[in-house]
Amino acid sequence: MPQEARITIEASRPIARVQPALYSQFIEPLGKCVYEGIWVADRPEIPQENGMRTFALDALRRIGPAAVRWPGGCFADQHHWRDGIGDPGERPVRLNLWWGGTEPHAFGTHEYFEFCERIGAFPYVCGNVGSGSVAEMRDWLEYCNVEGPTTLTDERRENGHPGPLGARFWGVGNENYGCGGHMSPSDYAAEYRKFATQLRRVDPDVKLVAAGYTPEYNLKLLESLITEREQSRDLIDHVAIHRFFRTGGHDVEFSEEDYYSCVAESLLLDDDIAKADGLFKNYDGSGDRIGLVIDEWATWHSNAIRDAGLFQRNTMRDAVIAAGCLNTFTNWSDRVVLTSTAQAINVLLHVIAVDGRFAWLTPNFYVFEMIRNHVGNDALPADVECPDLAGGDGSSGGLPQLSVSASADPERRSGVVCVANSHISEPIDCRVTFAGLPARSAAASLLSTSAPNAFNEASGPDRVTPASTSVDVDDGELRAELPPHSVALFDVELN
Ligand code: AHR
């Protein structure tokens, strides 16, 4: 008999409305993410729309990320935006300092904005603090967001875009504690203040994102930035953090111990968010909270190295972990304003994989397709009673076997529940109730494979795909058995 779990959803205690930006994507000229993944203008044999791979556009339209972050990542702090505008034949070719090879700038500002427009996403631009100047970033923002007329907006017009391009989020550097300049929190705070002061004057509506790091770094950053200069509170909207799960061993040939180690590491995200929440509370104004942005998060397996363009095959294990993270973001939707995985195509925890003219969807893609059912609903707290996972050595790891997120539409006529069973080999019998709201009927979609290391590839693109599965509704309660290492999405009609 499978173990049992009981999930009780508190329909009367909404956390926050689920914003689509919670499930966004990130692209960088790294490996095949941008060139070959999206930009295939020089590959006529690959179906494309104005130089962009049709498969990638169609797939991203399906999961509808609200935002796409670009151009980095570490690349952002070496990128000079003027290199990527104007006649493509005249654009400079420079070294890609972080990821090797060269950067032709064929996919520059206008190509990126057109890409966002084609998939219905808003642009989240990451500016260059590490090797750029305040004036350079200020000019880029004016070029992108100001109606004009100014000399810069006239130039934009001449480059084919009369109206503003509309970047709603603007990152002030990336990982400036590391590849973005190895700055201490107080060094970065001093830089941030100079950049943000001018960016705010150019476009008061753009959301400015400071590049944070660990809880200790963020504490010092906010102390230097705000406590020491109170008037600087207006300069900051959001703080970004990154989290990679690096203890999972090889992408496909992993042991049970590797599997649980990676799952356990991914649960640290909840703690990261709780700590950021505790810190930001000290600086929240009424109706003006500092939002947490998690603009890079991913599994990072041992064979995803620079020479491989950070490519790793994404298995069912990655999908289970991704579902756990997306559930966590949903459960913190009162603090987390945007998250984007690293990265959309081929890199680390990607949703699309390409190899020349071949392209396919990863298991992770289907998790994104499931989770977006929460968008527009009120996220709801779920009380989960389930067994703990046993660690790879057989000892109890104290890790809950299930990860859950739940939501309901504002009128409470329908609900959505996403459940991931992280157990590598055991199924679990789940009973789900919306407290005070009996379920009338439910449909479920299930992503499940016999082996946890199953993955899709060019020669087997549909090995891991979701299927609809039966759910019993008995006396207002849902009942379903979840196979090992699986993800399920329940769409529930409520009374
Ligand atoms: O997402 C891959 C790389 O990881 C990014 O360029 C960098 O910001 C991070 O460390």
Listed as own residue / partner, the contacts of 285-292 with beta carbons closer than 8 Å and 24 or more positions apart are 285/233, 289/335, 290/236, 290/237, 290/238, 290/239, 291/207, 291/237, 291/238, 291/239, 291/335, 291/336, 291/337, 291/338, 292/238, 292/239, 292/240, 292/241, 292/332, 292/335, 292/336, 292/337
Strand partners, 441: 493
How many whole angstroms from 418 Cα to the centroid of ligand 1? 28
SS3 247: coil
Pocket test for ligand 1, best of 77, 103, 175, 177 (most atoms within 8 A of CB): 175
How many whole angstroms from 68 Cα to the centroid of ligand 1? 15
Average pLDDT over residues 388-408: 78
Does pLDDT of 367 surpass 90? yes
pLDDT tens figures, 103-162: 999 999 999 999 999 999 999 999 999 999 999 999 999 999 999 999 999 999 999 999
pLDDT tens figures, 160-215: 999 999 999 999 999 999 999 999 999 999 999 999 999 999 999 999 999 999 99
State the pLDDT at residue 495: 87
pLDDT tens figures, 231-287: 788 899 999 999 999 999 999 999 999 999 999 999 999 999 999 999 999 999 877
Average pLDDT over residues 301-315: 98
Three-state secondary structure string covering 46-88: CCEECCEEHHHHHHHHHHCCCEEEECCCHHHHHCCHHHHCCCH
How many whole angstroms from 73 Cα to the centroid of ligand 1? 5
State the pLDDT at residue 285: 80
Does pLDDT of 391 surpass 70? no
How many whole angstroms from 336 Cα to the centroid of ligand 1? 20
Does pLDDT of 316 surpass 80? yes
How many whole angstroms from 153 Cα to the centroid of ligand 1? 31
Ligand 1 atom index nearest CA of 298: 1
DSSP letter at 227 equals I
Average pLDDT over residues 371-400: 84
Q: Which protein residue has the closest C-alpha to ligand 1 atom 7?
A: 73
State the pLDDT at residue 394: 44
Nearest 5°: CA angle at 456, between 450 and 457?
Answer: 140
Average pLDDT over residues 404-426: 97
How many whole angstroms from 174 Cα to the centroid of ligand 1? 9
Q: 480 near 488, Cβ under 8 Å?
A: yes
The percent of residues above 70 in pLDDT, for the chain, comes to 98
Ligand 1 atom index nearest CA of 174: 8
Euclidean distance between the first and the last CA atom of the chain, given in angstroms as a whole number: 31
Q: 267 near 228, Cβ under 8 Å?
A: no
> What's the whole-number average pLDDT of the chain?
96
Does pLDDT of 470 surpass 90? no
How many whole angstroms from 453 Cα to the centroid of ligand 1? 24
**Residues 331-365 as b or e (16 or more Cβ within 10 Å = b):** bbbebbbbbbbbbbbbbbbbbbbbeeeebbbbbbb
SS3 250: coil
Q: Which protein residues touch ligand 1 with a CB less than 6 Å away? A: 28, 72-74, 174-175, 296, 342-343
Pocket test for ligand 1, best of 24, 69, 99, 179 (most atoms within 8 A of CB): 179
State the pLDDT confidence band at 397, using cuts at 50, 70 and 90: low
Residue type, 416: V
State the pLDDT confidence band at 393, using cuts at 50, 70 and 90: very low
How many whole angstroms from 274 Cα to the centroid of ligand 1? 23
Ligand 1 atom index nearest CA of 98: 6
Q: How far is CA 85 from the centre of its chain?
A: 27
pLDDT tens figures, 39-77: 999 999 999 999 999 999 999 999 999 999 999 999 999
Sign, CA torsion 7/8/13/19: positive
**Rounded distance, CA 65 to CA 88, Å?**
28
Q: Which protein residue has the closest C-alpha to ligand 1 atom 6?
A: 73
The percent of residues above 90 in pLDDT, for the chain, comes to 94
State the pLDDT at residue 267: 94
How many whole angstroms from 201 Cα to the centroid of ligand 1? 30
Tokens 């109706």 correspond to 287
How many whole angstroms from 344 Cα to the centroid of ligand 1? 13
Ligand 1 atom index nearest CA of 178: 10
Q: Which protein residue has the closest C-alpha to ligand 1 atom 1?
A: 342
Length of the chain equals: 495
- Return the half-sphere exposure (C-beta side, CA atoms, 13 A cut-off) of residue 239: 30
How many whole angstroms from 319 Cα to the centroid of ligand 1? 20
Q: Which protein residue has the closest C-alpha to ligand 1 atom 3?
A: 73
Ligand 1 atom index nearest CA of 342: 1
Strand partners, 55: none
Task: Give the count of beta carbons closer than 10 Å to the beta carbon of residue 383.
Answer: 12
State how far the alpha carbon of 187 is from the alpha carbons of 173, 177, 222, 226, 398, in Å: 13, 9, 12, 14, 39
**Rounded distance, CA 473 to CA 442, Å?**
7
Ligand 1 atom index nearest CA of 26: 1
Ligand 1 atom index nearest CA of 75: 6
Q: What is the DSSP string of 1-14?
A: --EEEEEEE-TTS-
Ligand 1 atom index nearest CA of 310: 2
Q: Which protein residue has the closest C-alpha to ligand 1 atom 5?
A: 73
How many whole angstroms from 103 Cα to the centroid of ligand 1? 16
